[in-house]
Structure 1
Amino acid sequence: MKVQLAQIPADDGVTAPNLQRVLSVIEQAEAGTDLIVFPETCLMGFPTAEEVAGVAEPDDGPTVRAIRAALQRKGLSVAVGFAEAHGGQCFNTTALIAPEGIVLKYRKTHLWGTDVGVFTPGDQLVTAVWNGVRVGILICFDIEFPETARALAAQGAELLIVTNGNMDPYGPVHHQLMTARAIENQVFAVMSNRCGSGGGLDFAGGSMAIAPDGQVLGALAREEGRLTVDIDLRRIAASRSDYCYLRQRRLPLTGQVVAGDGTLTAHQIPV
């Protein structure tokens, strides 16, 4: 499987220039590309609370339709982030879109500070089968919670797609966590991050692809660029040949703390 990570900038609170960037990347994709991964909300940037209702679109709106038309010409798929309007609410959404339509749609469940008041959090962690591979999607801040990727792996995900809008000074955090999420779930993990500046933020770039054993298959620097990696799904079984974290974990031990006298006590986590 050939996956391309498209590390591109975005204009915030508008759609037209962002859509043109995405369509240009699709049209320029080299032959044999199966999937292009774009950054978080790259079709509308990061709109403000005042802007979001004016730019958010349903998943069958004109912007997604334009992307589908391009995919039908090129015969490939994309994972692309957009501001989704649905039921009177706006969501930070990433859709896995194939030429025949949306295969998987995920609404960001863990909102970063600047998302709050702009987007409604999603409430489901979901996977789907695409091209014979079970795929799960996370968005930016989601990967800082290990339970999110583990929930997708427990559903059988083999490929974790992360659309990202990570900024300075947090770039190194996501580099480390992408490797951790791949290793602890023994899956492939690919992340496409935004680059450039906007809204007073400098985006960290650093898009990367990680194998189930933690090997970095490729990574970009801060500047705009493309990275294409070949994913050999046989490496998943190889990484699990000696041990399998999902199968060997002991969930009944979770949340139990052994006191000094050897007894078990309940552990309360402040909320």
Structure 2
Amino acid sequence: MDGRVRVAAAHLAAAGSAGDAPDFVGATAAVVAAAEAGARLLLLPELFAWPFFPLDDPQRWGHVAESVTGETLRWAEAAARRHDLHLVVPFVLARRSERPWNAVASVAPGAAARVVAAKIHLPPAGPGDRFGEPDHFAAGPSEIGVFAAAGVRIAALVCFDRRFPECWRAARAAGADLVVCPVAGPADEDDDYFAAEFRTHARASGVFALSSAMTGEETVAGRRLRHDGDSLAVDAAGRILARRRTGDAPGLVILDFDPAALVEARRAFPNFELRRNPHPAAGL
């Protein structure tokens, strides 16, 4: 593909388990489909193996936190090795005597998983909700790192982090060419706004962007909720290349990362290079 690298995002149905154990059925099917499509990397949605528990009582969900040698990443390491596919895997990272992180691991074929991101911004409980993400998780470090997969430099932003321009700028400053963003759960905007966020930030920061979302509805603790958010592939000029919307059937979104197109987009839209980092004026 002339230097291009094919990457994919899974658009997954809500986990089928009652929450007593992780559900890898949908993710396993996505791994197989991505490998068959010739992808070198697959991004999975936020909290993909569990019901969307952050709106429920955290006392009921302590069992979801695990170490890097826990069940989720053991599954991911086996799947990556079996299908020769780099996986980007959200999971709940246990921390000694502290609340866990809503984290992301990079899992290369034949290698041990390593943590590459933890959610920095935790959205508060919504109107009428008793609980929210700050009741379940601690905020991750306020830093953005880059990892390599199939020769592509990648930064991961976890769901709500996408709303903060500083995260995108930090990703680009760290050397990212592709920003991946796993998402899940209900949100307060329509899917056109969701897409506009990715288009705007991708173009302004000069990066390709890929999101992976849960789709459909599920019942958690007696409450029916809808997952809002799209699985999107966006180029560095802000164009949508592929999309599966909220409520669409599970499947893949494919992005052919093109280094030449990245160079051209950064030449045409040099926003990142021209930034002046304005600050509030003194004495006004």
For normalisation by structure 2, the TM-score amounts to 0.84
Determine the structure 2 residue equivalent to 1:41.
47
Q: What displacement does 1:188 show?
A: 0.1
Q: Which runs of 5+ in 2 are unaligned?
A: 125-131
Cα distance in 2 between the residues matched to 1:205 and 1:226: 14
When structure 1 is superposed on structure 2, of 5-14 and 67-76 the one drifting more is: 5-14
Find the residue that maps to 1:117 and give its secondary structure: helix
Alignment pair present for 1:111 and 2:122 = yes
Residue of structure 2 in register with 1:121 after alignment: 139
**Out of 101, 112, 115, which is 1:91 matched to?**
101
Structure 1: give runs of 5+ residues left out of the alignment.
Answer: 258-263, 267-271
Q: 1:44 offset after TM fit, Å? A: 2.6
Aligned residues between the structures: 258
| 1:246–1:205 Cα change, 3 Å | closer
Cα deviations across residues 176-210 of structure 1 (Å, max 9, x unaligned)? 10111101101100001111123332112421110
Partners of 1:130 and 1:112 lie apart in 2 by 29
Aligned to 1:193, which of 207, 213, 217? 213
Tell me, in whole angstroms, the C-alpha distance in 2 between the residues paired with 1:242 and 1:169.
Answer: 33
CA distance in 2, matches of 1:51, 1:109: 23
Deviations 1:59-112, CA, capped at 9 Å, x for gaps:
221221121111101001111211111223311112221111335521100001
Displacement of 1:175: 1.2
| TM-score, normalised via structure 1 length | 0.87
Change (3 A) 1:28 1:90: same
Whether the 8 Å CA contact 1:15–1:43 is kept in 2: the answer is: no
Matches within 5 A, 1:1-271: 1-11=5-15, 14=19, 16=21, 18-29=23-34, 30-47=36-53, 48=56, 49-88=58-97, 89-99=99-109, 100-102=111-113, 104-113=115-124, 114-123=132-141, 124-170=143-189, 171-198=191-218, 199=220, 200-221=224-245, 222-223=247-248, 224-251=250-277, 254-257=278-281, 265=283
In structure 2, distance between residues paired with 1:212 and 1:5: 17
Task: State which drifts further: 91-100 or 47-56.
Answer: 47-56
Aligned partners of 1:108 and 1:250: how far apart in 2?
27
Checking the alignment, whether the CA contact within 8 Å between 1:35 and 1:77 is kept in structure 2 is yes
Which residue identity is paired with 1:122?
A: G
One-letter amino acid matched to 1:39:
P
2: CA distance between counterparts of 1:183 and 1:142?
A: 17
Over the matched positions of the two proteins, sequence identity in percent amounts to 27
More relative contact order, 1 or 2 (CA 8 Å, 6+ apart): 2
Residue 169 of structure 1 deviates from its aligned partner by: 4.0
One-letter code of the match for 1:38? L
CA 1:13–1:153: 2 relative to 1, 3 Å = farther
Letter in 1 for 2:252: R
